[in-house]
Amino acid sequence: MGGVALNHVALTVADRERSAAFYGEHFALDERVHEDEHLLILASADGSLLALSEGEVAVGGLPRTNHFGFRLDGPDEVRAARERFRAAGVSEAEWQEDGPTRVQVLDPDGYRVELYAF
């Protein structure tokens, strides 16, 4: 089996609208491709999908290594994104410049989301 691309991530969130606003503003997941009483699916222009279901969030028990990430074209883009996160008051979980440049932030429910570049 070759060339299988990851298509979507699904998260349980406390407030779908709050999470939709966060991922729309900061990660360009701003097209609503499905919405019913159980599920909201957001899409970006590149076809990436994020599925949001409301429920009890259990992020507190997850290890710090659990996260999902977005690859950017270069380190300068990661640095610029970090500044945008800071200006918006988004909590930063980790920052690294040696090796890949990467920033991990916390979404409204405490999920770790990473932007990185080599």
The structural domains of the chain, with segments of one domain joined by +, span 1-56, 66-118
Token pair belonging to 48: 């990436």
Read off the pLDDT of residues 63-95 as tens digits, 9 standing for 90 and up: 989 999 999 999 999 999 999 999 999 999 999
The highest-level CATH class for domain 66-118 is alpha beta
> Does position 2 have pLDDT exceeding 90, yes or no?
no
Fold entry, domain 1-56: 3.30.720
pLDDT category at 1 given cuts 50, 70, 90 is: low
Q: Write down the pTM of the prediction.
A: 0.92
